[in-house]
Amino acid sequence: MLRNRAAIAFVLVLLVVAMALGGCAAATPQTVVQEVTVPVEVTKVVEVTVEVTTVVEKEVVVTPTPAAPADATRLETLNIALSGQVADPTNLNIYAPGVSRSGTGIHQVIYEYFFYQNLQTGEYIPWLAESYEYSEDFTQLSVKLREGVTWSDGEAFTAEDVVFTYDTLLANPGMTWASEVTKWVESVEAVDDYNVTFNLLAPSPRLHLNREAFPAVGIWGGITILPKHVWENEDPLTFKSTDPIGTGAYRLVNATTTSFTFERRDDWWGTTVWDVVPAPRTINFQYVGPETTVALALAANEIDTPFIGILSVGSLQEIMRRNPNVHAWTDEPPYAWLDPCPRPLMVNNAVAPWDQKEARWALSYMIDREAIVALAYEGTTVPAWGIWPNYDGNQPYFDAIADLLEQYPSGTYDPAKGEELLQSIGYTKGDDGMWVSAEGEPLRVRYLVQADSTEEMKVSAVLADQLQTQGIEVELQPLAGGVMSDTILRGEYDIKLHSFCPGYIYENLELFNSKFYVPLGEAAPWYERNSFRYNNPEFSAIVDEMGSTSPDDTETIIAQFHDAMAIWLDELPVVPIVQAPALVPFNTTYWEGWPSATDPWNMPVSWWATFELVLTGYTAPETGEWVGGIHPAGQ
């Protein structure tokens, strides 16, 4: 029944989208029995002619074509569809709790970062900084800033801005990410105008990869350097920064609850340093409405790309059918780019029977991931065996544990094997087909579901049906907001689907570190940061060794990864389900050069700070060649 209801709801959504698109440009036969005047539009340099045609009882099929540009301004404008409105468009303080960074566009086009991490290629790209170097004991990190960088008001970007930003974060624990900075950084000193030294609280050879404590962005956003001359006399928690001053290639010219408009800076420092000018003169981050409205706008060439989570695959297929200039990461299934945060099932390791690895493995064997992909994700993703994205940069690590994956097939559907494991820990099946313990207690699982997440609701419908069919009683608990958060952190659940970020090899393993373990009833540090109560000191010791090893020592880290995964796969503290799909189509009517599966030069994510590189391109660290950057269509 759950599966049927989910399928019916999906069909209804498709019908609404198809009808809306059809109302805009449907290929519908019609009979014309009168003389009609048909204006024929041609290019601007040719005069408009009028053709008079008499048609009697003839079937006419109207083939929809993309609308012509309204004016030349559209040719220079990039329109991005937001997933929601902004409550207070006057508050653009990037460090104030609750203020949207990506939903306004400010961390994409106003602010910039020392380095950018291209997760697609594995590159670490210098930007506001040119280089970094650790001390021999990894307790200091020296950074060389790029000379010639200026703020949008013309002031020079210098080491004083870096020191001021960190002094402010260390002195104001209420600022976003300040708590993470205080874990790692003791102080920051200016050596001169373009050299700074980070004094660290402990050996930290991975600080340059920690976006929450250092201005290097891979996934989403990171620590943002503030202009001292603007912020030094302001309260960092209450200052609204309505007209944000940044080093980025654009400046904000208008902000409302539904739209943020940015104009290109002719004085952007990057033009002087690299002789590059971002192609769009104007960028609009705008909320145009729900899925149907976004679909119509994309089909009509009114927007160029939407944020994640807006369009279903059915809508995308209809849009692509009607507008051949709209493309996805792949133009055939699965369509989606893989987000760096896979979706495993968190399993509470402190609650019986899930505190036994046999029960967790039985759960894994009883889950048909292919069915979840087909029914809940509409074929837009692939099953997962682990907690990392299938990126090329991760492949050497995956290859190194091929022997373990053969021994521990963590993505395999094998109900018979699952039954054997349940029987091995004393469970039997009753006459009604349901599992019971030796004491006669039914095997029951409390399944928390984010009530306002379409993704989680769809997955839960399929997964609950599968487990019920296998004889496990499922108690679905849809929750939201603070109630959901408190329930997860206190460990009052058995299973919960959740994203595991940031997708890096070490960082995702560290989420399972015993140092984050707390007893049931106490609040865990965060959802994926061991709210599932895994506690293995041997595993944690290996992860700690990885954390103290330079990330440049790949050979050692791969060996440590193998040792850690031998324990992780044996115990399976969480159950891998699927890779995370990001359905983010792009329109090539006005702009070309978007990253895609056929040209995967970057991540196609307009809500991350790395989107600036999609706009501008960048210098490849190894070759020195300029890579990418969108450009006007046909050029």
Among the three residues 198, 214, 247, which one is the final residue of a domain in this structure? 247
pLDDT at 445 exceeding the cut of 80: yes
Question: What's the mean pLDDT in 216-227?
Answer: 95
The CATH number for 319's domain is 3.40.190.10
Query: Quick one: 215 and 128 in the same domain?
Result: yes
pLDDT of 525 reads 87
Among the three residues 193, 214, 247, which one is the final residue of a domain in this structure? 247
For 16-20, 178-182, 323-327, 579-583, which range has the lowest pLDDT when averaged over its residues? 16-20
* Structural domain boundaries, residue 58: 1-110+248-332+590-628+631-635
pLDDT of 309 reads 82
Query: Quick one: 393 and 466 in the same domain?
Result: yes
From residue 572, alpha-carbon distances to 345, 347, 348, 354, 527 in Å are 11, 9, 11, 11, 17
pLDDT at 199 exceeding the cut of 50: yes
Around Cβ 160, how many Cβ atoms within 10 Å?
16
Query: Quick one: 402 and 512 in the same domain?
Result: yes
pLDDT of 100 reads 83
CB 119 within 8 A of CB 218: yes
pLDDT band at 526 (very low <50, low <70, confident <90, very high): confident
pLDDT at 10 exceeding the cut of 80: no
For 44-58, 567-581, 619-633, which range has the lowest pLDDT when averaged over its residues? 44-58
Question: What's the mean pLDDT in 573-602?
Answer: 97
Q: What is the dihedral of CA 373, 374, 376, 381, to 10 degrees?
A: 40
Q: What percent of the chain has pLDDT over 70?
A: 89
The CATH number for 199's domain is 3.90.76.10
Query: Quick one: 450 and 540 in the same domain?
Result: yes
The CATH number for 575's domain is 3.10.105.10
Mean predicted lDDT score pLDDT of the chain? 90
Query: Quick one: 460 and 551 in the same domain?
Result: yes
Query: Quick one: 379 and 491 in the same domain?
Result: yes
pLDDT at 16 exceeding the cut of 60: no
Query: Quick one: 356 and 466 in the same domain?
Result: yes
Q: Distance between CA 333 and CA 382 in Å, rounded? A: 10
pLDDT of 53 reads 37
pLDDT of 601 reads 96
Question: What's the mean pLDDT in 214-228?
Answer: 95
Query: Quick one: 547 and 425 in the same domain?
Result: yes
More confident residue, 426 or 55: 426
pLDDT at 23 exceeding the cut of 60: no
- Note the pLDDT tens digit of each residue in 268-296: 999 999 999 999 999 999 999 999 999 99
pTM: 0.83
Question: What's the mean pLDDT in 381-394?
Answer: 94
Query: Quick one: 544 and 565 in the same domain?
Result: yes
Among the three residues 218, 247, 276, which one is the final residue of a domain in this structure? 247
Query: Quick one: 37 and 133 in the same domain?
Result: no
Domain count for the chain, please give it: 3
Query: Quick one: 567 and 602 in the same domain?
Result: no
Query: Quick one: 181 and 142 in the same domain?
Result: yes
Q: Distance between CA 394 and CA 506 in Å, rounded? A: 11
pLDDT band at 21 (very low <50, low <70, confident <90, very high): low
